[in-house]
A and B are shown apart, each in its own frame.
Chain A
Amino acid sequence: EFRRFSLERSKPGKFEEFYGLLQHVHKIPNVDVLVGYTDIHGDLLPINNDDNYHKAVSTANPLLRIFIQRKEDADYSAFGTDTMTRKKNVLSNVLRPDNHKKKPHIVISMPQDFRPVSSIIDVDILPETHRRVRLYKYGTDKPLGFYIRDGSSVRVTPHGLEKVPGIFISRLVPGGLAQSTGLLAVNDEVLEVNGIEVSGKSLDQVTDMMIANSRNLIITVRPANQRNNVVRNSQTSGSSGQSTESSLPSSTPNILANFLQGEEESDEEDIIIEDSGEPQQIPKAAPTSESLESLTQIELLHESTQNGFLPSNEMNLNHSAGSISMEYEVQDPEHESLEEDETIIKL
Chain B
Amino acid sequence: MRRFLRPGHDPVRERLKRDLFQFNKTVEHGFPHQPSALGYSPFLRLMAIGTRSGAIKLYGAPGVEFMGLHEENNTVMQIHFIPDQCQLVTLLDDNSLHLWTLKQHSGTSELREEHRFTLKGPPGSPPSATQITAVLPHSSREVLYLGTESGNIFVVELPSFRVLEDRTITSEAVQQRVPEEYCNRRSCELVEALREHPKNPDQILIGYSRGLIVLWDLQNNKVTHHFLGSQQLENLYWQRDGSKFISCHYDGSYTQWPVSSDNRQPEPLENTVPYGPFPCKAISKIYWQTTRNGLPYIIFQGGMPRASYGDRHSISVVHGSQQTAFDFTSRVIDFFIIFSSEPTAEFDDPSAMVVLAEEELVVIDLKTAGWPAVHPPYLASLHCSAITCSHHVSNIPLKLWERIISAGSKQNIHYSNMPWPIDGGTNIAPDPPQRDLLLTGHEDGTVRFWDASGVCLHLLYKLSTVRVFLTDADPNDNMNTPGEDEWPPLRKVGTFDPYSDDPRLGIQKIYLCKYSGYLAVAGTAGQVLVMELNDEDAEHVVDHAEADLLQDQEGYRWKGHEKLKTRDGPVRFEAGFQPFVLVQCQPPAVVTSLALHSEWKLVAFGTSHGFGLFDHQQKRLVFVKCTLHPSDQLALEGPLSRVKSLKKSLRQSFRRIRRSRVSSRKRRGGSGNASEVQEANAKFDQEALQEMELAPVQRKIEARSAEDSFTGFVRTLYFADTFLRDSSRHCPSLWAGTNGGTVYAFCLRVPPAERRMDEPVRAEQAKEIQLMHRAPVVGILVLDGRSTPLPEPLEVAHDLSKSPDMQGSHQLLVVSEEQFKVFTLPKVSSKLKLKLTALEGCRVRKVTVANFGSCKTDDYSENDLAVLTNLGDIQIISLPFLKLQIRYPCIRKEDVSGIASCVFTKYGQGFYLISPSEFERFSLSSKWLVEPRCIVDIPEVTSNNHVHNKSGMENAARKS
Q: Interface of A with B (CB < 8 Å)?
A: 137, 143-151, 170-171, 178, 194-196, 198, 201-215, 217, 257, 260-261, 264, 268-275, 282-284
Contact = CB atoms under 8 A, between A and B. Distances in A.
A280 to B, nearest CB: 9
A215 B871 contact: no
B698 A149 contact: yes
A89 B841 CA distance: 31
Interface in B789-839: 818-819, 821, 823, 827-830, 835, 837-839
A275 B766 contact: yes
A204 B843 CA distance: 10
Given A137-B703, A148-B698, A215-B703, A273 B837 contact: no
A273 B1 contact: no
B645 to A, nearest CB: 25
7 contacts: A143-B703, A196-B841, A205-B841, A209-B840, A209-B841, A268-B771, A282-B769
A211 B741 CA distance: 14
A260 B697 contact: no
A207 B765 CA distance: 36
B631 to A, nearest CB: 16
A282 B696 contact: no
Contacts of A201: 841
B701 A211 contact: yes
Contacts of B837: 208-209, 211-212
B696 A205 contact: no
B701 A269 contact: no
A214 B701 contact: yes
Interface in B383-439: none
Nearest to B765: A275
Interface string B742-782: 00000100000000000000001111111111010000000
Nearest to B842: A205
Given A257-B2, A282-B829, A150 B696 contact: yes
Contact of A269 (B700, B704, B772): B772
B764 A270 contact: no
Interface residues of B, number: 43
B768 A283 contact: no
Contact of A208 (B1, B770, B841): B841
Given A148-B699, A208-B841, A284-B830, A275 B772 contact: no
A74 to B, nearest CB: 31
A170 B696 contact: yes
A104 B42 CA distance: 95
Contacts of A171: 698
B702 interface: yes
B769 A271 contact: yes
A210 B701 contact: yes
Contacts of A205: 840-842, 871
Nearest to B5: A196
B701 A270 contact: no
B400 to A, nearest CB: 39
B899 to A, nearest CB: 13
A151 B699 CA distance: 13
Contacts of A150: 696-697
B725 interface: yes
Given A204-B699, A257-B1, 7 more contacts: A170-B696, A207-B701, A208-B843, A209-B838, A209-B840, A261-B2, A268-B773
Nearest to A203: B699
A264 B772 CA distance: 13
Contacts of A143: 702-703
Contacts of A207: 699-701
B698 A282 contact: no
B699 A283 contact: no
B288 to A, nearest CB: 59
A210 B839 CA distance: 10
Contacts, number: 129
B820 to A, nearest CB: 13
Given A205-B842, A213-B838, A283-B829, A270 B697 contact: no
Contacts of A146: 701
Nearest to B771: A270
B884 to A, nearest CB: 15
B828 A282 contact: yes
Contacts of B770: 270-273
Nearest to A263: B1
Contacts of A213: 838
Interface in B78-117: none
Given A208-B843, A209-B837, A211-B703, A203 B697 contact: yes
Contacts of A145: 702
Nearest to A143: B702
Nearest to A264: B1
Contacts of A212: 773, 775, 818-819, 835, 837-838
Nearest to A213: B838
B781 to A, nearest CB: 17
A144 B702 contact: yes
A178 B703 CA distance: 13
A211 B701 CA distance: 6
B699 A149 contact: yes
A173 B772 CA distance: 24
B698 A147 contact: yes
Nearest to B703: A214
A214 B702 contact: yes
A206 B841 contact: yes
Given A205-B841, A209-B841, A212-B838, A147 B768 contact: no
B702 A196 contact: no
B772 A271 contact: yes
B842 A273 contact: no
Interface string B505-529: 0000000000000000000000000
A28 B837 CA distance: 51
B701 A144 contact: yes
Nearest to B704: A211
A272 B769 contact: yes
Nearest to B741: A270
A140 B1 CA distance: 25
A148 B772 contact: no
A275 B830 contact: no
Most B CB within 10 A of own CB, among A145, A194, A201, A214: A214
Contacts of B827: 283
Most B CB within 10 A of own CB, among A201, A202, A208, A283: A208
A272 to B, nearest CB: 5
Contact of B1 (A148, A178, A214, A261): A261
A178 B702 CA distance: 11
Nearest to B3: A261
A38 B821 CA distance: 28
B701 A260 contact: no
